[in-house]
Amino acid sequence: MMHWIHGALPHHEETNVVFFRGLPLDGLVRGLLGQRRMPLAYGKGTGWGVMMHDMLNWDSGDYDLAHYRRLCPDGGELVVFVTEPCRAKAHGPWFEYYRDGSLITGFSFENPSDGVGGEPDLLLPVLMAANLVGPTADLDRDDHEERTVQAITDFFSLPELEMP
């Protein structure tokens, strides 16, 4: 079975996966539509909800990433996985965490120790425990992207996504 970080939805190669809490689903949908990003699938649980949407808008020639700060009001949180940031160049996935409209932390799966945001080292302890950063890091294993997703999922207590 393919892990969702390598193909979140069948027939949609460039899909972002966004976990959200503290904001209503309809507000997130309206915000994405306002940025011309088509919501493709969603689910809402008791804690975190999940939204999958097109990464780009090919029809309008908009190849920038969604502006998640605009989608994350005070009291809201977003955990964003950009699953295919640049397929043509074979770049690995990208991760971002927003709270109250601010980027708290973000990093490329290719170099998870090189974080950005207000707290760029927020996830370093869990990434180190998973051997994804630090002197014992093992990024050459075929499953490093799946292990990165698992470390993030565990840290934020995100729901598991079951993909067919």
Report the relative pairing of strands 102-108 and 94-99 from DSSP bridges.
antiparallel
pLDDT for residue 89 is more than 60: no
| pLDDT (mean) for 87-114 | 85
Instruction: Specify whether the CB–CB gap between 63 and 2 falls below 8 A.
Output: no
C-alpha atoms less than 13 angstroms from C-alpha of 40 in its C-beta half-sphere:
18
Round the average pLDDT of the chain to a whole number and report it.
Answer: 84
Question: Is 96 exposed, middle or buried, given 0-12, 13-18 or 19+ CB atoms closer than 10 A?
Answer: buried
pLDDT band at 138 (very low <50, low <70, confident <90, very high): confident
pLDDT in tens, 16-69: 899 999 999 899 999 998 888 888 888 877 789 999 887 766 565 555 678 899
Distance CA 52, CA 125 (A): 28
Question: What's the pTM?
Answer: 0.88
Distance CA 30, CA 20 (A): 14
The count of other CB atoms within 10 Å of the CB of residue 62 is: 13
Distance CA 13, CA 132 (A): 25
| pLDDT (mean) for 147-162 | 90
Query: What is the percent of the chain with per-residue pLDDT over 70, rounded to a whole number?
Result: 80
Amino acid in the structure at residue 41: A
